[in-house]
């Protein structure tokens, strides 16, 4: 079990952190490897779409649908999708019922 001093030393240099109990810190101390994406979410605080893989239809169709559904969203991931779609010149489609497939 980690001592209070070691927990304090770990956290004192962080600018913000939310920990909902010591058991989570105990578990984190057992981690031997961790992987992060490199899309800017951690480094810049802003997610960024860097690549799209399409399994059905075309990339333009997918980006047009995505842009149309996300254009009014305020979530950072939605904003990154819209930004990417705009950069790829995806068209805005008329959305009739965005809840239909949810």
| Rounded alpha-carbon distances, angstroms, from residue 19 to 5, 12, 91 | 16, 13, 43
| Nearest Cα residue to 92 out of 74, 70, 59 | 70
Catalytic positions are 37
Distance, CA of 83 to CA of 81 (rounded, Å): 5
Alpha carbon 12 to chain centroid distance? 26
Distance, CA of 68 to CA of 22 (rounded, Å): 43
């Amino acid at each position: 079990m980690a001592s209070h001093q070691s927990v304090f030393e770990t956290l004192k240099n962080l600018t913000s952190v939310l920990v909902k109990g010591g058991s989570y810190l105990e578990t984190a101390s057992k981690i031997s490897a961790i992987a992060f994406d490199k899309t800017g979410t951690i480094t810049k605080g802003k997610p960024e779409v860097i690549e799209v893989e399409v399994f059905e239809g075309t990339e333009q169709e997918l980006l047009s649908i995505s842009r149309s559904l996300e254009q009014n969203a305020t979530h950072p991931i939605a904003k990154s999708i819209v930004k990417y779609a705009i950069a790829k010149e995806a068209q805005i489609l008329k959305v009739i019922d965005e809840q239909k497939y949810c």
